[in-house]
Amino acid sequence: MDEVDKIIMHQLQQVDATIEPTEELAEFTPEQVVRAVSGCLAEIPMAQRFGVASSLAQGCKDSGYRGDIGYQTFLYPNAVELRKLLMFLIEQLPRERQTTEDGASGKMQALSHRQLLQRQIRKELTHQLKTPWVPQFARSVGNRKSLGCSSLGIEFRPHINLSIPSANPEERTKEEQQYFDQLAPNLFQQTASKSVDLIASVLHKNELDRWGQGLPDSTLLFVDSEEPEAPIIAPTQSPSSGEAEVSPFQELSNQVQELRVQCETLLTERKSHAAALAALKLRETKATEEIGRIQPMLKLHERTSLVLADPEENLAKLESLLKSTQSKRQTLTQQWLDYRKPLLDTLEELKTAKEAQEVQGIRNSIENLEQELQAKTKQHNELNATLRSASQSLAPRKEYTRRIHEFIGNIRKQRADIYKVLDDTRQLQKQLNVVGAQLQRQFNYTDDLLFQSAKHDLHAKRAYKLLAQLHANCSELVECVSLTGNVTKQIRELEVQIDGEKLKNVLTSLQQITGDIQKFEQHIQELQGQIRAAEHPKVES
Amino acid sequence: MATSPGKSPALEAGNTETTGLLSATVVAGLRNLGAIISPPLTKLLIANSLKLTLHPDATIAPVPEIYASNAACAKQSEYAVVTLYALATKHGWDGLHLRQQLEQLGLDAGAVDELSRVYEDSRKELVLRQLQLGHSFPHITDIQWRIVCDVKSSTSDCSTGVANFHINLGNFRPSSGERVTIVEFVCNAEELQSLINRLKEIERHCNQMAVA
């Protein structure tokens, strides 16, 4: 049974993480039992253990548990019953619970509105799918309440020019008043047309009345419409006044013409000047380039001519200069070499030092890698060992499934046997019935025959009496047999019950109960003592 | 008929006293009730207006006595009552709120009672009537089709022999029962098949939503 217990433990752990796993169900404390069962069922807010236990039992019964269950199952548990109960409950758990449990609790609140809406949509759709079909013209009556208005919409089409008497009767003219009193159609007549809607019209007019007051009114609108006309009027007036002054206009236009011509000539002149300017600039740049090329040549020529003026003296001067420069150069080279040597030495030193450092680093890393390799190998070995042990521990599972298969096979065999026995029993019953019926018919016939002859014959009369007696005795016998059968059946049932009760180890539970009762009695006595102690001082006082 | 430029005392009173949802004409029309128009006629006028509001297509017997004495005022009041109920329904007022608004206008007490009573009694119908009103996408409730094939055209004298489905989706006007075409299209058998599959997908989705 340990495998079953392990499975139960695993499942309970998933249902409620606070349940501490124990090796066997036999070690379960009452508190753990209560917690496990209450974790499986919904939480029940009751203070007392008894109340909780009995409501848990009721919950189990309600969810279809058929075994013997009551508050004692939770307060004084035994392994057999508990195993049965928990296995039943775990079977009843919804399959998705384990996967959704973690995510659902967090999202519950965030999604609640959306989920509610979705649920509502779902409900609505289900409802719509279930409603009977109603022809379209009858839908306004049939499904209107449940399905809203469907396609029976009315377009929002207002009558934009309702004729209703205005608010102030004093402002109406006599003709208007007469018109409204006699001829004007009422509101409903005005909106009777199919193309407009009454409510749309009145809403439209109400808004127009409210906001039309603030807007530019008819008079303002007139002013607005005048403005664009103004420019049209102005040109029509200007020619009439301009006719008198033809010559100045002509003059002015002539002047304009002249100025335009002048402007054009000036523009062409400017263009030609600009072209000339560009050409000149180009020439200037070329000239400056030439100058730049010629000047160094000029300098060289000047200096050679100076040297050539007094050749011998200048030559000696130049030679001495050359010598001094050479000696200077030699000293500088010497100096340079002096400086360079120590620096080269230090460079060499540094290079060797660096190389040594690198080598050291590589060695260190090699050592590290070796250590790591060793650790990894060790780990590998360990893992191999665990793998082997794991694969070994897998074996019981296989064994277990094999046993389950065996059990199933056995159960099948037994079932076939049971069916066979049932068939036999049925056959037997049939035969019994046939024989019984035959016997009955035979008896009836004999009875009749003897009765007929008993009227005339004395022996026959006696025979008839004997027959009756025989019949009575036989039926008594049959009754006895059936009674014996019933008693045997009862005995067997009782034996089974006794076995069951034996399994429940009543003795320990009884001891526990008596222990509890004693504790309670002690507690009650203590309380009574306290009460007395509390009462006495009162009496004395 | 434009309204008179807004300097009327009624308008000013209306603007200061109410929330300003009612126009001056409406306020004036409401003030006629129970004053210029006698209380029994007021009752009749309100009932008549409500009936005609709720059943625009119904043919209701004309009530000449309403217009017998002061027709202009009666017409104005009819307009006022209909507008009042439409606005109250639009803004979701309950009976008490309507009464408060009307009492602020200083109307005749009997008229206020009658107006609020009628409104409370038939609020549900008014809401249902106004819920239908508005602009919406057309509902398609009917379909007609025929199979078409060209015989000849301006560019070709012989038939192409291609058969097409000419499909017309529409609905029936709720008021008159007359059929309205919403969309009309032509498609071949393959296109039709894919359209039907899409529609079936909708049905499946609907079923899924309902079951899940």
pLDDT for the residue A347: 94
In B, which residues are within 8 Å of A204 by CB distance? none
Q: Using a CB-CB distance cutoff of 8 angstroms, which residues of chain A are in contact with residue B29?
A: 164
Helix (H, G, I), strand (E, B), or coil: what is residue B162?
coil
B135 and A155 within 8 Å at the Cβ level: the answer is yes
B58 and chain A: CB distance < 8 Å anywhere?
no
Are A161 and B1 within 8 A, CB to CB? yes
pLDDT at site A289: 94
Which of A121, A154, A179, A222 to probe the B interface (max B CBs under 10 A)?
A154
Query: Does the beta-carbon distance from B82 to A198 stay under 8 Å?
Result: yes
Contact A199 B25 (CB under 8 A): no
A64-73, A213-222, A436-445 — most confident range = A436-445
Highest mean pLDDT among A130-144, A321-335, A452-466, B25-39: A321-335
The pLDDT tens digits for B163-186 are 899 999 998 876 677 888 999 999
* Most confident range, picked from A188-192, A342-346, A392-396, B8-12: A342-346
What are residue B135's phi and psi, to 5 degrees? -100, 135
Between strands B142-149 and B163-172, the pairing is antiparallel
Q: How far apart are the CA of B53 and the nearest CA of chain A, in angstroms?
A: 7
Task: Return the residue of B nearest to A220 by Cα.
Answer: B5
Please tell me the pTM assigned to this model: 0.38
pLDDT band at A228 (very low <50, low <70, confident <90, very high): very low
Chain A residues in contact with B129 by the CB 8 A cut-off are 199
Domain residue ranges in chain A: 2-99, 169-227, 458-504
Is the model's pLDDT at A143 over the cut of 60? Answer: no
B28 vs A182: CB contact, 8 Å cut-off? Answer: no
Distance from the Cα of B40 to chain A's closest Cα (Å) equals 20
What are the distances in angstroms from CA B153 to CA A72, B88, B150, B187, B203? 94, 60, 7, 19, 40
Q: Evaluate if residue A451 carries a pLDDT over 50.
A: yes
Structure tokens at A144: 């209107």
Q: B-chain residues within 8 Å CB-CB of A202?
A: 79, 82-83, 86
Residue B182 dihedral angles phi and psi, to the nearest 5°: -105, -45
**Which residues lie below 8 Å from residue A47, measured CB to CB, with a gap of 6+?**
none
Q: Report phi then psi at A19, rounded to 5.
A: -75, 120
C-beta neighbour count of B83 within 10 angstroms: 27
pLDDT (tens digit per residue) in A281-292 = 999 999 999 999
Flag if B176 and A166 touch (Cβ within 8 Å). Answer: no
Count of C-beta atoms within a 10 Å radius of residue B100: 13
Mapped onto helix, strand or coil, the DSSP state of residue A351 is helix
What is residue A398's predicted lDDT score, i.e. its pLDDT?
82
For range B61-72, the mean pLDDT: 77
Decide if pLDDT at A354 tops 90. yes
Nearest chain B residue to A199 by CA distance is: B86
CB contact under 8 A, B75 and A180: yes
| Cα separation, A303 vs A283, whole angstroms | 31
Q: Do A125 and B142 touch (CB under 8 A)?
A: no
- Scan residues 41-100 of A and list those with Cβ closer than 8 Å to B: none
d(CA B17, CA B23): 12
In this structure, the number of other CB atoms found within 10 A of the CB of residue A399 comes to 11
Separation CA A244–CA A242 (nearest Å): 5
Mean pLDDT of A401-426: 95
- Where in A236-296 does DSSP place strands (E)? none
CB contact under 8 Å between A136 and B171, yes or no, is yes
In this predicted structure, what is the pLDDT of residue B7? 38
Instruction: Reply yes or no on whether the pLDDT at A99 is more than 60.
Output: no
Contacts 24+ apart (CB under 8 A), A69-75: A72/A509, A74/A30, A74/A33, A74/A34, A74/A37, A75/A30, A75/A49, A75/A50
Residues of A in contact with B127 (CB under 8 A): none
Comparing A44-48, A174-178, A342-346, the range with the smallest average pLDDT is A44-48
Q: Which of B133, B172, B166 is nearest to A198 (CA)?
A: B133
What sign results for the dihedral spanned by CA atoms A372, A375, A377, A379? negative
Tell me the three state secondary structure of residue A99.
helix
CB contact under 8 A, B79 and A162: yes
Interface of B with A in 117-136 (CB under 8 A): 128-136
Ranges of each domain in chain B? 9-131, 142-211
B71 touches chain A (CB under 8 A): yes
pLDDT tens digits, one per residue of A284-341: 999 999 999 999 999 999 988 888 877 888 888 889 999 999 999 999 999 999 999 9
Out of A11-15, A204-208, B39-43, pick the least confident: A11-15
Query: Is B25 within 8 Å of chain A by CB?
Result: yes
What pLDDT is attached to residue A72? 78
Contact A156/B206, CB-based, under 8 Å?
A: no
First to last CA, chain A: 67
CB of B208 less than 8 A from some CB of A: no
Q: Band the pLDDT of A210: cuts 50, 70, 90.
A: confident
A188 at B interface, C-beta within 8 A: yes
Interchain CB distance below 8 Å, B73 and A187: no
Which of A129, A151, A198 lies nearest to residue B171, judging by beta carbons? Answer: A151
Q: Among the listed ranges A84-98, A405-419, A455-469, B102-116, which one has the minimum average pLDDT value? A: A84-98
Spatial CA neighbour of A12 closest among A27, A26, A25, A30: A25
pLDDT at A490 over 70: yes
pLDDT above 90: percentage of residues in chain A: 37
At A222 the pLDDT is 38
Name the amino acid, one letter, at B97. H
Test mutation, B15, B21, B22, B25, chain A, max A CBs within 10 A: B25
Determine, for residues B75 and A186 on separate chains, whether the beta-carbon distance falls below 8 Å: yes
Q: Which long-range contacts (CB under 8 A, 24 or more apart) does B143-147 make?
A: B143/B167, B143/B168, B143/B169, B143/B170, B144/B168, B144/B170
